[in-house]
Structure 1
Amino acid sequence: METNLKNKVAVVTGAGGVICSSMAKSLAAMGVKTALVDINAEAVEKLALEIEKEFNITSIGVAASVLDKDSLIAAKKVINSKLGSINYLINGAGGNSPQATSGVDQMEESDLENLDQTFFGMKMEGFDKVFDLNFKGTILPSMVFAMDMIENKSGSIVNVSSMNSYRPLTRIAAYSAAKAAVNNFTQWLSVHFSKMGVRVNAIAPGFLLTNQNRFLLTDEATGAPTARGEKIIKNTPMERYGTPEELQGTLLYLLSDWSAFVTGVVIPVDGGFSAYSGV
């Protein structure tokens, strides 16, 4: 069964990162022309060249900030002039911050001597950074890049959420809350766009080693799993971390006409983590 992906145009935000660069390659393999948007121009320009060489399909790197609407509007003009009308949007920009991460899982009496390691030591600038990047960084690109889809009455948006959105993990209060907001916004926007031919869904990855979480899951000196990393593996029925490539099938499904009657859902790709109670 063929899909409707070939020769369409997809915008991928956060394309300079591990997860979204993999997603961009999976789209290119299906014949999708990709616009790789990231604040790091050098990273996406290099990736675009790699994609064109490997898959023989047009790809461009475009520098823009997902928190600056004017820069996104400027990026859209470049994309439209070089690739044409936008059919798909993958909102992949996101990340966590050590400033909004507590040093302990659960506060105990002994922590009263060192409140900096608890909730009370978190910095509001860290919360602002995480919430802006993950939540506003999903809203603003949707406002700008979805306009082509609305005009064409056809298109699909896929937001990148997280397992933290279902059950908040210890330590990462801001990231969990921000991704929960992404889920809620995904559902809201799916209803708002439902009569315009534009579908909105999300993927909730389980635990993948990325630049954002590596400091929490592996020992910087030895590379061995931290105590937290060991907990994650123990509570993931498949007993391993996922890989970015294992998100590709769900992404392609949500963008393609295989999921023509699917909107407003968040699909976990998590090795069974969300299904496991720990016993």
Structure 2
Amino acid sequence: MDNNFSLKGKVIIVTGGTGILGNSFVNGIVEAGGAVGILGRNRQIAEERADAINKNGGQAIALVADVLNEAELQAAKQALLNRFGRLDGLVNGAGGNMPQGVLQPDEDIFAMNLDGMKKVMEVNLWGTLLPTQVFGEAIAKTGRGSIVNISSMNSKRAITKVLGYNMGKAAVDCYNQWFAVELANRYGDAIRMNALAPGFFLTEQNRNLLTTPDGGYTQRGELAIRQTPFKRFGNPDELIGALVWLLSDASAFVTGSMLCVDGGFSIFGGV
């Protein structure tokens, strides 16, 4: 029996591949048999991760690019095609928040940093859309493929402080559905687009917001745990199963979906 969950023979590129969640995405793809392009702005980390995979018998290439820079993305695409000759999938893992996109409770809501909010929204939305334009073209030439966007609990519920991030991920959800339909109109079931929506996972960007230096929870961290029925944060490796499923032929009839991996956060009413 064929293993439809296998990524053997497939080449997948992961933007944000030098981050914490990106590292799990990359390793999960390799463990499922796929070759991977590790794309990020940090050359050292990308090369270290690619070298470790190649030394252990996998196939990986380090790609350095900013997801908002089309010329850099085009160069990365060419480097990947020169190495592997094809592209079967894309994980739009780049995104996140930044300090200028945070509104603290004691700050004036009518004097918020709109430029900061706009910048955060841009990196999450356009940092998903632009790589899809560049790498999706290569997937179309391959003939079959899967694109996975990264949504968030912030796209469906009002999470305080991070308006730019909320708006960016909500826009990603809209794009995810719209583009999935347009892909189907043009390519039938050959090219699919779906999204993963993680709950609260500790990353370098949110660690100080959710945890204290001694390993405890901040007030915000306690609120997140209280709203999560599993009463813990997610482990990045717990995203791998859902990601591999969406990239593999096992999800061949799935497009435009958003899969929550959140410990129940999205369904819990708080009582």
Q: TM-score range by the shorter chain?
A: over 0.9
Q: Tell me the alpha carbon deviations over residues 259-278 of structure 1, each in whole angstroms, 9 at most, x when there is no partner.
A: 10000001100000111000
Conserved? CA contact 1:102–1:121, under 8 Å:
no
Residue 25 of structure 1 aligns with which residue? 27
Does 2:206 align with 1:213?
Answer: yes
Give 1:60's aligned amino acid. Answer: I
Residue 103 of structure 2 aligns with which residue? 102
Residue 136 of structure 1 aligns with which residue? 126
Instruction: Provide TM-score, normalisation by structure 1.
Output: 0.92
Give 2:246's aligned amino acid. Answer: L
Seen in structure 2, the aligned counterparts of structure 1 residues 47 and 118 have a Cα distance that, compared at 3 Å, is farther
Cα RMSD (Å): 1.3
Residue 235 of structure 1 aligns with which residue? 227
Q: Which 5+ residue runs of structure 2 have no aligned equivalent?
A: none
Q: Tell me the alpha carbon deviations over residues 31-86 of structure 1, each in whole angstroms, 9 at most, x when there is no partner.
A: 111011111111111111122233x1110101011000111001111000011111
Instruction: Provide TM-score, normalisation by structure 2.
Output: 0.95
Conserved? CA contact 1:130–1:178, under 8 Å:
yes
Number of residue equivalences: 266
Structure 2 CA distance for aligned equivalents of residues 39 and 243 of structure 1: 24
Does 2:236 align with 1:244?
Answer: yes
Shift of 1:222: 3.3
Structure 2 CA distance for aligned equivalents of residues 201 and 277 of structure 1: 26
Give 2:259's aligned amino acid. Answer: I
Residue 147 of structure 2 aligns with which residue? 157
Structure 2 CA distance for aligned equivalents of residues 22 and 90 of structure 1: 12
Conserved? CA contact 1:91–1:158, under 8 Å:
yes
Structure 2 CA distance for aligned equivalents of residues 228 and 190 of structure 1: 35
Seen in structure 2, the aligned counterparts of structure 1 residues 40 and 228 have a Cα distance that, compared at 3 Å, is same
Q: Which 5+ residue runs of structure 1 have no aligned equivalent?
A: 105-110, 112-116
Structure 2 CA distance for aligned equivalents of residues 208 and 133 of structure 1: 19
- Trace 1:130-209 onto structure 2 (pairs within 5 A): 130-194=120-184, 195-196=186-187, 197-209=190-202
Q: Tell me the alpha carbon deviations over residues 175-214 of structure 1, each in whole angstroms, 9 at most, x when there is no partner.
A: 0110000111011110111141110000000000111111
Residue 108 of structure 1 aligns with which residue? none
Give 1:29's aligned amino acid. Answer: E
